Amino acid sequence: QVQLVESGGGVVQPGRSLRLSCAASGFTFSGYAMHWVRQAPGKGLEWVAVIAYDGSNIYYADSVKGRFTISRDNSKNTLYLQMNSLRVEDTALYYCAKSGEVAWLYDYWGQGTLVTVPS
């Protein structure tokens, strides 16, 4: 069965960096686009970034463009999110999500990893 396990979250001071990872199993990782979606405490869902199955196409939300970098290692079945210049408003539960047959529709989500940037 599909499993997505995020890690790397924690408490980080404003302006610092953090790298999230998402270990995937139960499917052919290299065959699907992957996403990061976040959810601030008690708030709704916000799409962050997507990377194509082979890394050839990458898109970001304006709120993170220039600060966050999505990447993947298909040999390790792992998705990454490098987060630089973190802000208080980046505080959220970060989910990795697998696309389905349509690259921009997510069919499976991990449990998330919490990133806290205190004020």
Size of the site for another protein (CB under 8 A): 20
Calpha distance 87→110 (Å, rounded): 23
CA-based end-to-end distance of the chain: 40
Calpha distance 108→31 (Å, rounded): 14
The interface with another protein within residues 96-115 (CB under 8 A) comprises 100, 102, 104-107, 109-112
Question: Is 11 a residue that touches another protein (CB under 8 A)?
Answer: no
Pairing type for strands 10-11 and 113-116 reads parallel
Name the minimum Å distance from CB 34 to another protein: 13
In degrees and rounded to multiples of 5, residue 19 shows phi and psi of -120, 125
* Residue closer to another protein (CB basis): 47 or 53: 47
Question: Is 92 a residue that touches another protein (CB under 8 A)?
Answer: no
Q: What single DSSP character describes residue 32?
A: S
Q: Which amino acid would we find at residue 59?
A: Y
Question: Is 40 a residue that touches another protein (CB under 8 A)?
Answer: no
Residue from 41, 62, 66, 119 in contact with another protein (CB under 8 A): 62
Question: Is 17 a residue that touches another protein (CB under 8 A)?
Answer: no
Chain contacts with another protein (rule: CB under 8 A): 35, 44-47, 50, 59, 61-62, 95, 100, 102, 104-107, 109-112
